[in-house]
Amino acid sequence: MSSAAPAQIKSHRDLIAWQKSMDLVVLVYKATEGFPRHELYGLTSQIRRAASSIPANIAEGQGRRSKSEFRQFLGKARGSLLELDTHLELALRLTYLTGAQYDRINQNLTEVTRILNGSLRSLTSDL
């Protein structure tokens, strides 16, 4: 039984966490298109900023030279996930999001959280 070597990570684009978080950002942008106009510079902006900072932090961390720096940026990405989760809950309570929109986004958010937590555990145990 031969085992294939794990794929070489050449870029942040090769990271599943980055790919899945980009999918999450697209869902968030599409869902927030329907938010009230008066929220454009309020909740809409905060939600989009929190969402887009997740893959941005993953990318920046992957580009750093040490595991400890990568871990630090994954932690920032996780913080942005939790911020996004809070903003989405508020949008749901204000009925800016439908239950179906919230559930779809939350499913992706949960998946990205699981992947990030696993990556953080892996980087911590490797030290």
pLDDT (tens place) for every residue of the chain, 127 residues total: 444 444 566 778 878 999 999 999 999 999 999 999 999 999 999 999 999 999 999 999 988 878 889 899 999 999 999 999 999 999 999 999 999 999 999 999 999 999 999 988 888 865 4
Residue 3 lies in a domain: no
Task: Give the CATH number, domain containing residue 56.
Answer: 1.20.1440.60
* Residues in the chain, total: 127
Q: Which residue segment(s) compose the domain that 81 sits in?
A: 13-125
Residue 7 lies in a domain: no
**For the chain, how many structural domains are there in total?**
1
**From residue 35, how far is each of 27, 39, 44, 114, 121 by CA, in Å?**
14, 7, 7, 28, 36
